[in-house]
Chains A and B, each alone.
Chain A
């Protein structure tokens, strides 16, 4: 039985009906990894022994008649910027090549206490900066739909592993699209939750005011189950909010009748591939046929969002990444003459080009004399953009857009052109700037490559968002998430 092809919800049922064991599930996933990992390269660290041990414990607990969490025994891969106690957490950087955290991220604590089975740590763009996973210091991850193409990024490993059957679900992080964009490129479902709904404690910070951990899976229900597990207030994260303990999966409703969908014209203009535009419009039409009310809306400040995003995120990154100085942990240059020399060499050698580019940009926009012109203005724009979304949500329940302007590009195609790479984030960054939840769902193929549709919800309206995505998933009879890997 190819258990790795099943969804978390199906496996959860099967475990309870004794149709399979947690060890069998883990073995199925690890044999799939053995089969395709040399082609896909989504993992940086594999935890096979620990995973099988955990699976055994889960089976024993089931045998003892214990009640376990619905996700108990389900294999999950974790992006390598989420701290795992005793397991290397490299952020795909030379800087943290041998860094083993002494503590778990809050989400990892939750995953452990739900008895999920951690398969390993997933590849990413270095420190989550990038849109192709090509900025990993260690390896290139390939898109399971076309091995010559990128999986997207920065959570490229998280999306590729789920699409390749190397994990049932995974965790990624999203600062400007890093869950949704690779989900779109790899044809899986990825949720970027409302800022403050999932604890960031233990997530190695890129841009603190924008970062959010979120789930990826092959079905909306799986994503809903995982989001229910990881969300909630955490006293270790001052920016996390008290939202109770929602069970999104239990409350899923597929009825689209009466759902008001807003279509912002700014997201369907120039720069969006016509094929992508067509696929998304078709999906929206399907939803309209099923009873949703579609209306055009306007979010006029969208064109400024990208500038605002790169200023705020780089400013915060320049400060967040200052702690990697060779003093306490991580890489230290082998030879240096004095303290300043040690700092300079360590950081020059330990960080890759993209990270250094953002640190320089962020340092510049915060420097005395430039703060008002850049950072302060960007923060003002952030308020304006948030206000436009709030106004829009007075008239619509969700907003639908393409997730990415194009389908997955070829490895190496954009790496020499940072501006082009940044521009590809146009549809996703605005959502982080506004702190909203958004989900990317597959909505067809363009030249055999998946296209993603982004659904955006109002703050803390994850249920509305997941219901809409679930309704669409039911309309199309489920997503074809597992490509044949050739």
Chain B
């Protein structure tokens, strides 16, 4: 079994988050009442004609640049003809032989190493509607809201060799889409979907026959589908069988794939140039302008966090994984007055915890880089303790307040007055003779208890470093 190598190629469909649909003025929005975001064009009424939303071309070119593609600034759109109730025109406007972008690559980080995955092509096309099945109705209903939602299809070369590599590729694609802000990337809403091509072969032998799996609705499902399919093919070959080229349907609930159609049943889509639309022509200068407008992409960002700020690779990756966190990190660095390490610790600690627990984004709170950097700065300077910092943090999430005001109001500033701290220690040690004896008898953990009692007596405001030193000094007298 171990002699086999798995070969994986992926087709990712990403819905673009343009204001309007690709060929009409209808709003491009998810989750609205069925059949309300529709017009004669996207419903395929007789006589209605498509007109291209140029934003879609711009978004796709951005992705093309991000994936190091050649941009075909002169290209056409084609009709892909097939019958299905969710496709009202009975053809999908797509691109066949000349895609908008082609011949690119993506560097993916796998186990700390970079692996380069080839990108065959990226083309633009329209999404279809959705079939709804209702028990109250004997049959199927169609929701056409999604018809004409702009899509890009990103096709990779068969360059991945494990489901983990495929997952890393998918995660990176998703992250780039987010950084370019061209897709909502909401898996649960179906804004990214993928088709998986899998084949197996023995190392050193030619590639095996591939099978395509459809209906893969999440990245984790892609991992399961790949692992299942590789195992199925290997077992088939080991049993002396052959793999047939076919399209299979992944059933994630059951964890199996089943044959949808064989090669013989492959549909002839009868592609031909869409006569209702003009050739796409994008000025070379526009193509360059779009390239220059690209934001810093995730791989470069991670490298910068590691090289410039000394963050551990994992921490950098975790921050970059969520564009909002990276944005906050960059802004805090810009405000300054605190170390990259404390920013990173707080973002991956309390801020992530808050975001996870509430499901809210930073923009929904009163937190700002200015306020957070100020807070981190006073913690690092010892003006307040880390514990007091948490209290301030809680307050400035929900209240539109400056951290310094919160510190004043709640009287949270640390007390570093040596005379005061010594008096405090003397009183606490006098009240806890047993612990003092314990310590002197070698029970060193009594120290923590005593310092804790001192902190408590100070209502948390004593400078913990100084407090500890003073208690230690008195114990050794």
Residue ranges of A at the interface with B (Cβ–Cβ < 8 Å): 81-83, 89, 91, 96, 99, 101-103, 105, 200-205, 207-209, 235-239, 315-316, 318-319, 322-325, 327-329, 339, 343, 363, 366-368, 371, 375
Contacts and interface: CB of A to CB of B under 8 A. Distances in A.
B318 interface: no
Given A238-B51, A238-B277, A316-B275, A366 B270 contact: yes
B51 A83 contact: no
A377 to B, nearest CB: 13
Nearest to B40: A103
Contacts of B44: 323, 328
Contacts of B268: 367-368
Given A202-B47, A238-B52, A329-B45, A323 B90 contact: yes
B281 interface: no
Interface string B64-108: 000000000000000101010100111100000000000000000
13 contacts: A201-B47, A201-B48, A203-B47, A204-B46, A322-B81, A322-B83, A324-B46, A328-B88, A329-B46, A339-B85, A366-B271, A371-B270, A371-B272
A254 to B, nearest CB: 37
A452 B304 CA distance: 77
B270 to A, nearest CB: 4
Nearest to A321: B90
Nearest to B144: A328
Contact of A323 (B46, B142, B272, B275): B46
Contacts of B382: none
B452 interface: no
Nearest to B43: A328
Contacts of B271: 366, 371
B90 A238 contact: no
8 closest cross-chain pairs (CB), A and B:
A322-B90, A208-B275, A366-B270, A209-B275, A204-B46, A202-B47, A83-B47, A368-B268
Given A101-B45, A368-B268, A239 B276 contact: yes
A102 B89 contact: no
Contacts of A202: 47-48
B294 interface: no
A89 B47 CA distance: 10
Interface residues of B, number: 28
A271 B48 CA distance: 39
A435 to B, nearest CB: 12
A322 B88 contact: no
Contacts of B278: 238-239
B457 interface: no
Please classify the interface of chain B as helix (H, G, I), strand (E, B), loop, or mixed, using the class held by over half of its residues. loop
A209 B268 CA distance: 23
B49 interface: yes
Given A236-B49, A328-B43, A319 B272 contact: yes
A105 B49 CA distance: 11
B50 interface: yes
A402 to B, nearest CB: 29
B277 A363 contact: no
Nearest to A364: B270
B267 to A, nearest CB: 10
Contacts of A208: 275-276
A253 B6 CA distance: 77
B51 A105 contact: no
B469 to A, nearest CB: 77
A105 B90 contact: no
B37 to A, nearest CB: 15
Contacts of B49: 200-201, 236-238
B83 A325 contact: yes
Contact of B46 (A101, A207, A319, A366): A101
Interface in B274-311: 275-278
A363 B40 contact: no
A105 B276 contact: no
Contacts of A323: 44, 46, 88-90
Contacts of A101: 40, 45-47
A366 B88 CA distance: 20
Contacts of A91: 46
Given A205-B46, A208-B276, A323-B88, 8 more contacts: A81-B47, A89-B47, A103-B40, A315-B272, A319-B272, A323-B89, A324-B46, A363-B270
Contacts of B47: 81-83, 89, 101, 105, 200-205
Contact of A368 (B45, B50, B270, B276): B270
A337 to B, nearest CB: 13
Contact of B85 (A204, A327, A367): A327
B270 A319 contact: yes
A82 B48 CA distance: 11
Contact of B79 (A203, A319, A327, A367): A319
Interface in B21-60: 40, 43-52
Contacts of B270: 318-319, 363, 366-368, 371
Interface in B431-475: none
A83 B276 CA distance: 17
Contact of A238 (B81, B89, B276): B276
B261 to A, nearest CB: 13
A403 B79 CA distance: 34
B189 to A, nearest CB: 25
Contacts of A375: 272
A89 B46 contact: yes
B90 A325 contact: yes
A102 B40 contact: yes
